[in-house]
Structure 1
Amino acid sequence: MFHLILSACLVDQPDVCAPRLLPAGDSETREQCLQSGPAIARDWIARHDTLKGSSTDCVETSALSALEVKEIASGVWFHQGEAAQLSPQNGGRIANLAFVIGDSVAVIDAGGSRAEGEELYAAIRMVTPLPISHVILTHMHPDHILGAEVFSEAGASVVADARLPDAVARREASWMISIPQQIGAAAFAGSAFATVDQPVDTPTEISLGARILDLTPAPVAHTDNDLTVLDRSTGTLFTGDLVFEGLTPAIDGSLSGWLDWLALDPAPKTQLFVPGHGPIRTSWPEAIGPEIAYLQGLRDATRKAIDGGMPMSQAIPAIVTMMKPLSDGWADFAAITARNAATAYTELEWQ
C-alpha cells in the first residue's frame, strides 16, 4: 500500500513544518496515490486553516514512521506511553494506545496529537490492511484523543461516552493553546478534536465480525465521561485512565466516585487489564493496588486537613507533605498531587 504525505507549515510560523499522513490518499499503487494526492491535500488544508501545504509525496507502508506496538493477546495490539507529563521530549506520547483486529479494526484511544495518531495508523497498517471501523475514546483527556481525526479520515466511526463532547467543548479553547506550548508547535501541527459519531450512554456492543467489544460508561470517577472496553474473545479489559500506574493519577471527576468504582471488579472474567498509563496486568488487585493506596491516602490526608480546620491554601501543601510516603513509583508526584488536593478538598469539605 502507498500513503499520501503532505508537507505542511504553520501559517503564522512558516518555518515550523511537519509531514502529515493523509489516510484518504491510501492507494494500491504509487501512481494512483500521486494522481489523487493533490486534490485530497487541498481539501485537507481547507479544513485545517492554521496550516499551509506545499508538496505531496507517496510512500510505501514500510517507510512510514510508526509507534512500537506488541501483540498482548490474539489480535490485541498495545503501545505503552511514557510515564511523564506532556513535554517537547515526548511530544505528547504518554498515553497507552491499542487496537483490536476482527473482521475490521477497532482503535482504543488515538494519542496526544495528530502526529501520534498517524504513527499509530502506520503501526496498524504494518500489521493488517483491514479497514479501521471504529476509534473508541476512553475519556476526554487530550493525550488519549487528539489523534482520532486520523482514523475518522480513514473511515472509522468515532465512539465515546455521550458526556465527552460537552466536556471537551468546555476545555477545547484552552487546550488548543496550552498543549502546543507543552509539546511544541511542530509536534502539535494539524491536531484537532474529532467529532464523536457514536455517543454511548448505556452498555453497548460493537461488532468486529465474530469479535465483540463491550463498552461500559462509568459513573463520575477519573472524569465524568470514562468508558471501559472489554474484548470478549480474549478477556482483555481496557480501563482508560480509571487505572493508572507510573504517572500519578489525576482527578478530573470525583475522588469518592473513583474509589467506589475501583472497589468493584468491573469484569470478573478478565484475563488482561490494560490501564490508561502503565504496564498491562493479569489480576485486578495487581492492576489497581498502587492507585488504591494513592487515592485512599489522598482521601485520608484531605479529611485530616479539613478536620484540622485548615483553609484550602494551607491544606494543599500540608496534604502533599502527608502524601510523600506514597510518592515512590509515581512520576510528577508533587505537581499532580497538589492539583488533586485542591479537587479533593473542594469535594470532601461538604461531606
Structure 2
Amino acid sequence: MVVAALLLVSLVALAADYAAIKSVVKPVPVTARAFYVQGEAGVASSANEGFNSNAGFVVTDEGVVVIDALGSPALGNALLQAIRKVTNKPVKRVIVTHYHADHFYGLKAFKDAGAEIWAHVSAQEYFESGEAGRRLEQRARDLFPWVEDNMPLVKADRWLDADTSFTMGGIRFDIAHLGPAHSLEDTIVVVPSEGLLFSGDILYTGRIPFVGEADSKRWLAMMDRLIALKPRVMVAGHGEVSRDPAKDFTLSREYITYMRTVMGKAVEDFVPFEEAYAKTDWSRFAKIPAFDAANRVNAYGQYLVMERESLKK
C-alpha cells in the first residue's frame, strides 16, 4: 500500500511537471512562416527537464518542416503540441542538425506522428562507435526521470551524403553539411524566401558553447562560411534568435579562438594541462551561462586537439 501510494504521488508529480514543460515550450515567431522554441541558457539537468536547446519549424502550405526535436521524449511531445498551437497541418519532415542528445531525444514523438527524419550520414558513427549507448546511460542518470536508459534512440529514415534542396508547399529548403565542426555531422538549413538560417550548434548565442574535442580550427572556418551567407535572421542551437548574425557570432568565435590560443601555447611550451588551466585567466568568460559546467571539459578537449595538431606540423 505504501509503495502504491508513493508511486501514485510520483506519477501525479510527473504529470504536473509535464504540464509545466508544455507551458514553457512556447512557439515564438521568427518570420511570417517560421517559429522556434528557446531552451534555457544553462546545461541540461533534471531541474530544467533537459530543456536547454532550441528547435524550430517552418509552416508551408503542404505541411510542417521541423529542425531538431529537443532533448527528451517529453520535450518532443511538448514541441509537437507547440506546433499544434500554430497549425494543424501535418508534420512532414524533421531535419536533425546533429545527433547530440539535447537535439534528437525528442524524435519519437515526430516519428509516431508520421514525420520522416533526415540527418547527415556522418551521424551513423555516433551509433556504430558505442557513443550513443554511453551518452544515454549518462543522460538517464543526469536527467531522471525525463530520460530512461531503455529509451529508444530514433535514427534517420534518410541519411544524407551530399548537400541537397527540396521544396514543400512552395517553400525551398537548402540543406548543407558543414561538419566536422561542433560535430562530424553538423548540418544547417537555409530557407531563402524567409532570409532564415538554422545553424545548429555551429553558433551559440548567450552561453558558452560545448567544444570538447571538436575540430575547432575548422569550426571557426565554418563560422566564416555562415556569415558569408548573410541571413537576415538566424536560429542557433542554443540561445536567442539572432537578427544580427555577424555580431552574434562574436562570443562563440572569441571563446573558441581564446581556447585554442591558451591551450596551444601550453602544448607548445610543454606545460601540463592542470598547470596551464590553473594559470589561465578565464575572467572574460566566467560569468557567461554554462561556463562552470563546460569550460574545464572544453579546455581539456582543446588541449588534446592542440597536441594532435602539433604532431602534424
State whether TM-score is above 0.5.
yes
Answer yes or no: is 1:236 the counterpart of 2:210. Answer: no
One-letter amino acid matched to 2:138: S
Q: 2:122 aligns with which of 163, 171, 174?
A: 163
- How far apart in 2 are the matches of 1:165 and 1:99? 24
Cα distance 1:15–1:342, how it changes in 2: closer, same or farther (>3 A)?
Answer: same
Q: RMSD over aligned Cα, in angstroms?
A: 2.1
Q: 1:343 aligns with which of 295, 301, 313?
A: 301
Task: Give 1:174-189 correspondences, 5 Å limit.
Answer: 174-185=134-145, 187-188=146-147
Return the structure number with greater relative CO, CA threshold 8 A, min gap 6. 2
TM superposition shift of 1:248: 1.3
In structure 1, the residue matched to 2:37 is 79
In structure 1, the residue matched to 2:290 is 332
TM superposition shift of 1:332: 2.5
In structure 2, the residue matched to 1:289 is 250
In structure 1, the residue matched to 2:4 is none
One-letter amino acid matched to 1:303: G
Question: Is this contact kept in 1: 2:227–2:246, CA < 8 A?
Answer: no
- How far apart in 2 are the matches of 1:95 and 1:303? 30
Per-residue deviation, residues 10-56 of structure 1 (Å, max 9, x unmatched): xxx8986456xxxxxxxxxxxxxxxxxxxxxxxxxxxxxxxxxxxxx
Q: 2:157 aligns with which of 197, 216, 227?
A: 197
Q: 1:109 aligns with which of 68, 72, 82?
A: 68
Answer yes or no: is 1:127 the counterpart of 2:66. Answer: no
- How far apart in 1 are the matches of 2:254 and 2:234? 18
SS at match of 2:282: helix
TM superposition shift of 1:235: 1.1
- How far apart in 2 are the matches of 1:168 and 1:285? 34
Q: 2:231 aligns with which of 233, 254, 270?
A: 270
Answer yes or no: is 1:150 the counterpart of 2:102. Answer: no
In structure 1, the residue matched to 2:58 is 100
Question: Is this contact kept in 2: 1:138–1:228, CA < 8 A?
Answer: yes
- How far apart in 2 are the matches of 1:178 and 1:82? 20
Q: 1:211 aligns with which of 171, 177, 193?
A: 171
Question: Is this contact kept in 1: 2:285–2:291, CA < 8 A?
Answer: no
SS at match of 1:159: strand
Per-residue deviation, residues 64-91 of structure 1 (Å, max 9, x unmatched): 9452111110110111110011112110
Q: What is the aligned length?
A: 291
Question: Is this contact kept in 1: 2:171–2:193, CA < 8 A?
Answer: yes
- How far apart in 1 are the matches of 2:136 and 2:9? 20
Q: 2:181 aligns with which of 221, 226, 242?
A: 221
Which structure's residues are more often strand, by fraction? Answer: 1
Question: Is this contact kept in 1: 2:43–2:293, CA < 8 A?
Answer: no
TM superposition shift of 1:343: 1.5
- How far apart in 1 are the matches of 2:151 and 2:57? 21
Cα distance 1:335–1:88, how it changes in 2: closer, same or farther (>3 A)?
Answer: closer
TM superposition shift of 1:121: 0.5
TM superposition shift of 1:284: 2.7
TM superposition shift of 1:314: 2.8
In structure 2, the residue matched to 1:306 is 267
Per-residue deviation, residues 278-332 of structure 1 (Å, max 9, x unmatched): 11112232120111111111111112212322123433434xx32332334x212
TM superposition shift of 1:165: 2.5
Answer yes or no: is 1:280 the counterpart of 2:238. Answer: no
Question: Is this contact kept in 2: 1:298–1:323, CA < 8 A?
Answer: no
- How far apart in 2 are the matches of 1:78 and 1:141? 18
TM superposition shift of 1:168: 3.9
- How far apart in 2 are the matches of 1:168 and 1:109? 18
Q: Give unmatched runs, 5+ long, in structure 1.
A: 1-12, 20-63
- How far apart in 2 are the matches of 1:123 and 1:168? 29
Cα distance 1:127–1:250, how it changes in 2: closer, same or farther (>3 A)?
Answer: same
Max Rg structure:
1
SS at match of 1:263: helix
SS at match of 1:257: helix
Answer yes or no: is 1:251 the counterpart of 2:211. Answer: yes
Cα distance 1:16–1:160, how it changes in 2: closer, same or farther (>3 A)?
Answer: farther
Which structure's residues are more often helix, by fraction? Answer: 2
Regions of 4+ moved over 4 Å: 13-19
